[in-house]
Amino acid sequence: MQHAGHRRFFAAAIASMLIASGLPLAAQNGPGETRGDYGTARPQALEVTDEVGRHVKIPPDVKRIVTLAPNLTETVYALGLEDRLVADTDFCDTPPAAKLKAHVGNPQNPSLEAIVALEPDLVLATTSINRVETADTLKQLGYAVYTTDPQTVRGMLNSVEHMAEAMGEKKRGTDLVARMQDRLDALHGRVADRPMVHVLFVVWDQPLITIGQNTFIADALRWAGAESIVLSKQSWPQLSLEEVVRLQPDYIVFADHTGTPAAELADLRARPAWRELDAVQEGHVVDLSEEAIRPSPGLIDAIEQLARSVHPEAFSKNKGMPASESRDPLFAEAQRAVGAKECDECAR
Sign of the CA dihedral 240, 245, 246, 247? positive
Distance, in Å, from the CA atom of 78 to the CA atom of 70, rounded to the nearest integer, reads 12
Burial code (b: 16+ CB inside 10 Å, e: under 16) for 220-239 equals bbbbbbbbbbbebeebebeb
Domain assignments of the chain as residue spans, ordered by start = 195-327
Mean pLDDT over residues 327-338, rounded?
Answer: 48
Q: What is the pLDDT of residues 170-197, one digit of tens each?
A: 999 999 999 999 999 999 999 999 999 9
Write the DSSP assignment of 134-171 as a string of letters. HHHHHHHTT--EEEE---SHHHHHHHHHHHHHHTT-HH
Instruction: Give φ, ψ of 347 to 5 degrees.
Output: -85, -5
- Which carries the bigger pLDDT value, residue 347 or residue 316? 316
Tell me the percentage of the chain whose pLDDT exceeds 90. Answer: 72
Full-model pTM: 0.78
- Indicate if the pLDDT at residue 13 is higher than 80: no
Q: What is the pLDDT of residues 254-265, one digit of tens each?
A: 987 666 778 888
Mean pLDDT over residues 299-307, rounded?
Answer: 97
Q: What is the pLDDT of residues 22-34, one digit of tens each?
A: 333 333 333 333 3
Q: Are 79 and 172 in contact (CB under 8 A)?
A: yes
Tell me the percentage of the chain whose pLDDT exceeds 70. Answer: 78
Query: What residue type is assigned to position 336 of the chain?
Result: R
**What does CATH list as the number for 195-327?**
3.40.50.1980
Half-sphere exposure of 280 (CA within 13 A, CB side): 21
Looking at residue 79, the DSSP 8-state letter turns out to be: T
